Amino acid sequence: MDYGYHAWMLVATSLVLMMITPALALFYGGMSRSKSVLNMMMMSFTALGIGGIVYVLWGWSMSFGSEDVGMLFANPFELFGLDGVGGQNYIFVGFQMTFAVITAALISGAVADRLKFSAWVMFVPLWLTLSYFPIAHMVWGGGFLGTAKDGISGLLFDLDPVPIDYAGGTVVHINAGMAGLVLAILLGKRLGFGKEPMKPHNLTLTMIGAGMLWFGWFGFNVGSIVFAGESPEADATQFLSETSLVWLNTTVATCAAMLGWLLIERLRDGKATSLGAASGIVAGLVAITPACGSLSPVGSIVLGLVAGGVCALAVGLKYRLGYDDSLDVVGVHLVGGLVGTIGAGFLATSGGLLYGDGAKQLVLQVLVALGAVVWSGLATLIVGLLIKYTIGLRIDEEGEVDGIDFLEHGESAYELSSGGGARRTPGLNATASATTKEGANV
């Protein structure tokens, strides 16, 4: 049993890693413009580079350490550098690390085409520290929004029921969606937003990314099992039944959400689109994330349909309200996360309003979602303002028009003509040494 579970966690953790690189990078990269696809993909890749290290240094300690601070976060220095952590716990650190990283990477969709790369490199560790680690602690690490005796559920309902967030509706999706909203507003609209066409440059990449996200999500949801720990036999039974249910719920909710999104498009715009299918898939995965352990498969279908439909409508909000959430982090992750987190209050087979168990669960779900919205909003505002008034958030206008790929990375994604007009300049090293000799090195 232990070996089986451990082997599964190694696989599940690797699956979630694949959701970041390359799945999310492809999903977002295809939706961005051809002059900014590399920067978009780099934001996912560097979120992994930075987030992975930060998590080992103080992320795990702040999220799951035992020295609680006000039920909001844990002492970052208690287990700094995983001091005192060892054995098979390393894979749980790895699993939670991938969650932290993908949450940060999700935000990048809101800032396409215009966020300084240096600002992103600063944003990731600061935001993880002020927003992600505290919310992870509050919901999963014994903090205020989880199952603690002095937490919200203990104070209101004497721990019956407790909040439902199986794999991160609040910690991951509401958190990332809210951060995307705040950062997009701080950053301002892209030049020409709402006037120039900013259509996706390669939807085949987006379709591949969406398919890979779905596949990776089995690690995300099915790996999130927490054992009751009463006896080895009971744990074994729980493992077999719960992982099977979560796998199935994750799949059917996503099927339904894809159809829900396409149906809205067919009715509203006349055509069912490939971008709609890819987006519906992600909306369904987001919505089922908190609820996948508490719903029946049919309940999951209902939740998925609602999520697909609601998110398909929500992505239009940015044009009406006037914020440039470029790739719809708000419309898909914030709204999808709210649908899933609050939907669990209606549809949970034990505790759900529609199953005749009263409104306690629903009230709790709404409060927990609100808690995540408020904390994430404030933390992102602090981090965003800090960067804005130190190194600055936004690239200059000329660079934005030319394209952020060239400005920030000195590259262009595609070379499609054979001539190209490019001539290889003498090697950089040769040039450097020549100028050094002439004493003209700047």
Partner 1 sequence: MKLITAVIKPHKWEDVREALETFGVTGMTVSEVSGYGRQKGHTEVYRGAEYDIALVPKIRIEIVVDDGDTEDVVGIIVKTAQTGRIGDGKVWVSPVETVVRVRTGDQDEAAI
For the segment 326-345, give every residue that binds partner 1 (CB under 8 A): 328, 331
In whole angstroms, give the CA distance from residue 108 to residue 338.
20
Q: Does 219 bind partner 1 (CB under 8 A)?
A: no
Q: In this structure, what is the dihedral angle of CA atoms 226, 231, 236, 241, given to the nearest 10 degrees?
A: -60
- Which is closer to partner 1, CB of 199 or CB of 437? 199
- Which is closer to partner 1, CB of 223 or CB of 260? 260
- Which is closer to partner 1, CB of 212 or CB of 282? 282
Q: Rounded to the nearest whole angstrom, what is the least distance from the CB of residue 115 to partner 1 in the complex?
A: 21
- Is residue 25 packed enough to be buried (19+ CB in 10 Å), middle (13-18) or exposed (0-12)? buried
For the segment 197-216, give every residue that binds partner 1 (CB under 8 A): 197, 199-200
Out of 67, 83, 160, 269, the only residue in the binding site for partner 1 (CB under 8 A) is 269
For the segment 308-327, give every residue that binds partner 1 (CB under 8 A): 312-313, 315-316, 319
Q: Rounded to the nearest whole angstrom, what is the least distance from the CB of residue 316 to partner 1 in the complex?
A: 5
Q: Rounded to the nearest whole angstrom, what is the least distance from the CB of residue 215 to partner 1 in the complex?
A: 23
Give the three-state DSSP class for 66.
coil
Q: Does 268 bind partner 1 (CB under 8 A)?
A: yes
Nearest to 264 by CA among 252, 275, 276, 274: 276
Beta carbons of 274 and 207 less than 8 angstroms apart: yes
- Which is closer to partner 1, CB of 197 or CB of 426? 197
Q: Rounded to the nearest whole angstrom, what is the least distance from the CB of residue 319 to partner 1 in the complex?
A: 7
Query: Total residues contacting partner 1 (rule CB under 8 A)?
Result: 19
Q: Which residues of 309-329 are buried (b: 16+ CB within 10 A; e: fewer)?
A: bbbbebbeebeeeebbbbbbb
Nearest to 46 by CA among 71, 63, 25: 25
Q: Rounded to the nearest whole angstrom, what is the least distance from the CB of residue 202 to partner 1 in the complex?
A: 13
Q: Does 276 bind partner 1 (CB under 8 A)?
A: yes
Q: What is the 3-state secondary structure (H, E, C) of 96-122?
A: HHHHHHHHHHHHHHHHCCCECHHHHHH
- Residues forming contacts to partner 1 in the complex (CB under 8 A) are 197, 199-200, 265, 268-271, 273, 275-276, 279, 312-313, 315-316, 319, 328, 331
